[in-house]
Amino acid sequence: MFKVAEIEIVYKRTESVVEFPTSNCSKASADYFMKCWNMNTIDYAEQFKVLLLDSALKPLGIVTIATGGTQSVVVDVRLVFAAALKANATSIIVAHNHPSGTLKASDHDIRITDQLRQAAQVLDVKFLDHLILTRKAYFSFADNGLL
């Protein structure tokens, strides 16, 4: 007789603590991420986070996917979509910071964005944007035609 682990899905929705405009404007997204980012560590180590949105583009929450070093962070695409699917999100926006203060997307940033875009398409989750954040500014992949 085979034994299989039992999986239970529990979904408890709460109201958003922070207001978020219903548009998918990159500035609104960057502002939302910045309100939730620990400003004491934004210049210290790279972090990768995902903003989970419902069908009305209201936030379900932000999940930290990974924390890296001063120059990179390893992103597991499966963890991004595990969080999205578990929260029943229909759209996502991802962001990571550059402690160096530069807003230039690296080759790695472009590759992970493409992997996320492809996975989102397969799972029917809208991938709205990837933001690079610094203490003073942001870069939007969507605004710059890189999605």
- pLDDT tens for 61-104 read 999 999 998 888 999 999 999 999 999 999 999 999 999 999 99
Tokens of 125: 């989750």
- Assign 125 a pLDDT band (cuts: 50, 70, 90): very high
In CATH, 49-136 is 3.40.140.10? yes
How large is the average pLDDT for residues 30-59?
93
Of all residues in the chain, what percent are helix, strand and coil, respectively (each to 5)? Answer: 25, 25, 50
The model carries a pTM of 0.86
**Where do the domains of the chain lie?**
49-136
- Tokens 């690296």, residue located: 106
Reported as a single tens digit per residue, the pLDDT across 9-25 is 565 666 655 556 655 58
